[in-house]
């Protein structure tokens, strides 16, 4: 697959000496947040970056797809950090701040169902305000699948509303007319917002880090309004009807059976799926990504003992039915396979 080559700035963004800078990467299901994060990690040029990943579900797939060293990665799984001003998020940020070796930058990748505003308030409405510097909110948009009614979810629009930088990703899959329409629609939601076009999340780091775009005074003035609205309307994920179905197995899949499930039996209300797959007749692990009606399965090297890990996200999913269908795709018996982990440099 050909990737668009975009030259990066020779200089890293200027990082302040006090108050750890924080960037929040948000965007709806399958927009390309992890791809953007990998691009940042591959081009950080000596910047010491900590990563906090929040998954909607109890299996954290994204953390296994990052190029980053595990020592600077933290996970918040099985929930969405945006549902409240979140104590778990505060505690996790403290873990970064209390490290002996200084971290230059913290990047948070939210779930695809996250409302950025409560996360913003966690940094501006708690003691974190004096310890960190909220630099920007980056919203990734899938140019191919995004429409004004995007899965009938208000969250996708709020991710744009609170974004300081909007990255129109996957521009190689749409024509110029669609891109212009999206840009006009986005500016109707948030006038004056920075819009950057992207293929595979390749954006110069100088446009993403150390930009100082967060409008703190405006957000702080909205804290009481948010708390009142939250009490009256409840949690947004419950209102939208989204659920995550997780599946794990120590038996491999049969490739043909699984592909038949994906193409013929996958429930139509699954909007996003991702996983690490083990096939009975394949040596490598396979990374599975589904967004809308498009899916990819790519071979990669195992970094752990082989097993299947899969997460499907959608509306009103029948967990029992999905588990039964996936179980039917497994080999009928366990396999005794001798496996040696590759040497991994640390």
Q: Which domains does the chain have, with CATH numbers?
A: 20-237 (3.40.50.300), 241-328 (3.30.1220.10)
Q: Which of 7-16, 117-126, 334-343 has the highest mean pLDDT?
A: 117-126
pLDDT confidence band for 64 (50 / 70 / 90) = confident
**Residue 328 C-alpha from the chain's centroid:** 29
- Determine the Cα–Cα distance for residues 67 and 17; give it in Å rounded to an integer: 26
CA angle 18, 24, 25 (to 5 degrees): 145
Rounded to whole angstroms, how far apart are CA atoms 94 and 122? 13
* Averaged confidence pLDDT in the chain: 82
Nearest to residue 258, comparing CAs of 242, 282, 236? 282
Asked if residue 23 has pLDDT above 70, the reply is yes
In the chain, how long is the greatest CA-to-CA distance?
61
User: pTM (2 decimals)?
Assistant: 0.81
pLDDT at position 106 is 93
- The residues near 311 (Cβ < 8 Å, ≥ 6 apart) are 55, 57, 59, 61, 244, 245, 246, 247, 273, 274, 275
Residue 77 in tokens = 């799984």
Q: 280, 252 in Cβ contact below 8 A?
A: yes
- Residue 31, classed as helix, strand or coil, is coil
Give the percent of the chain with pLDDT over 70: 78
Say if CB 163 and CB 138 are below 8 A apart: yes
Q: How does pLDDT run across 261-314, given as a tens digit for each residue?
A: 999 999 989 989 999 999 999 999 999 999 888 899 999 999 889 999 999 999
Cα–Cα dist 106/109, whole Å: 10
């Amino acid at each position: 697959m050909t990737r668009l080559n975009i030259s990066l700035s020779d200089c890293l963004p200027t990082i302040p000496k006090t108050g750890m800078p924080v960037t929040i990467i948000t965007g709806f299901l399958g927009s390309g947040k992890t791809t953007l994060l990998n691009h940042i990690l591959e081009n950080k040029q000596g910047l010491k970056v900590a990563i906090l990943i929040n998954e909607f579900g109890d299996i954290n797939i994204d953390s296994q797809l990052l190029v980053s060293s595990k020592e600077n990665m933290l996970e918040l799984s099985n929930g969405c950090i945006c549902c409240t001003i979140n104590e778990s998020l505060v505690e996790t940020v403290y873990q970064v701040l209390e490290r002996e070796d200084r971290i230059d930058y913290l990047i948070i990748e939210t779930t695809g169902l996250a409302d950025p505003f409560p996360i913003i308030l966690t940094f501006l409405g708690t003691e974190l305000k004096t310890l960190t510097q909220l630099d920007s909110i980056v919203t990734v948009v899938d140019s191919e699948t995004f429409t004004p009614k995007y899965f009938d979810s208000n969250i996708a629009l709020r991710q744009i509303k609170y974004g300081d930088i909007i990255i129109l990703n996957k521009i190689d899959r749409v024509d110029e007319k669609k891109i212009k329409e999206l840009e006009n629609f986005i500016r109707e939601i948030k006038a004056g917002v920075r819009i950057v076009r992207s293929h595979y999340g390749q954006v110069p780091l100088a446009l993403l880090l150390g930009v100082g775009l967060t409008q703190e005074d405006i957000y702080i003035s909205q804290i009481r309004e948010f708390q009142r609205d939250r009490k009256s309307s409840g949690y947004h994920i419950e209102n939208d009807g989204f659920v995550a179905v997780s599946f794990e197995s120590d038996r491999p899949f049969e490739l043909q059976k699984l592909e038949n499930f994906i193409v013929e039996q996958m429930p139509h209300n699954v909007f996003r799926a991702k996983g690490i797959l083990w096939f009975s007749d394949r040596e490598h692990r396979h990374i599975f990504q589904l967004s809308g009606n498009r899916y990819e399965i790519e071979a990669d090297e195992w970094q752990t003992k082989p097993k299947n890990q899969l997460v499907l996200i959608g509306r009103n999913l029948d967990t029992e039915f999905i588990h039964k269908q996936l179980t039917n795709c497994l080999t009928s018996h366990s396999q005794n396979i001798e496996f040696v982990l590759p040497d991994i440099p640390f």
